[in-house]
Amino acid sequence: MNTVTRFCLIRHGETDWNVARRLQGHTDIPLNEHGLKQAELVARHLPEHPFSALYVSDLTRTRQTAAPLARRTGLLPMATPALRERHYGVLQGLNPEEMARDYPQETRQYHQRDTGFTGGTGESLQALHDRITRLMQKIANQHRGEFVLIVTHGGVLDIVHRWISEQPLHAPRTFPIPNAALNWLSHSPARGWQIDSWAEQLHLDTALDEL
């Protein structure tokens, strides 16, 4: 019996706030034109695996990214609030210049990756870690031996990579998290979690002129 569960995790396509370097968090920003094209390319070039489930953050940018995948696979996207981006508190919606000008202390804590920092009304890195790791383990248990698609956010992928590779939450990031890239994980009871491939972008680098 196959007990290895394989995951393809995808960050949503590009938004105007990504371009402007604004912290989106829970703010419900749609994809821009480029992001919509990225979503189509993800679906067009997704490998032919027998995916059995499509989990999606309930925010617009992830649901828009998942829509072509749903058409390609025939799966119903399962909107999952636990897959949301981190809430950044008072820093949410600001670009780097506005953050440093209006909230200098909070901005220092954010850049230092203070694991308890909430921005006053937001979510700490530790709380985000606990939320995401619980959810990933739950999905793995529910889909043992299957292929699973997950469309989510950069902050969520940051947690997943650090968790599996055993990197501390407070350390500087050493890996990329591009929009609309493919990130492959696997889980089995015997071997635990593994990163099989990260930040695959060939479908974006070579195919943007297809649409």
Among 40, 85, 106, 146, which one carries the catalytic annotation? 85
Tokens of 12: 């949503």
Among 12, 153, 161, 187, which one carries the catalytic annotation? 12
Edge-to-edge strands of the sheet including 51-56? 77-79, 51-56, 147-152, 5-11, 182-188, 192-200
Strand partners, 55: 78, 150
Catalytic residue status for 12? yes
Burial track 75-109 (b if 16+ CB lie within 10 A, e otherwise): bebeebebbbbbbbbbbbbbeeeebeeebeebbeb
Catalytic residue status for 85? yes
Full DSSP string of 135-164: HHHHHHHHTTTSEEEEEE-HHHHHHHHHHH
DSSP state letter for 38: H
Catalytic residue annotation: 12, 85
